[in-house]
Chain A
Amino acid sequence: MLKLFTEIMKNLFKRPATYEFPREDRLAQSDYRGMQILDLEKCTSCKLCAIDCPAYAIEMKANPANNKLYPVTDFGKCVFCYQCVRVCPVKAYVTSNIYKLASFEKEALIKDVLKATSSES
Chain B
Amino acid sequence: MVAGVDGVGPRRLLARAESKNLRAIFAKLREDFKEDFYLDFIAPVDYVEERQFEINYNVWIYSLKTILTVRFRLPREKPAIDTISDLIPSAVSHEQEAYDLMGITFSGNPSLRRGFLVSEEATNGFPLRKEEENKV
A adjacent to B, CB under 8 Å: no
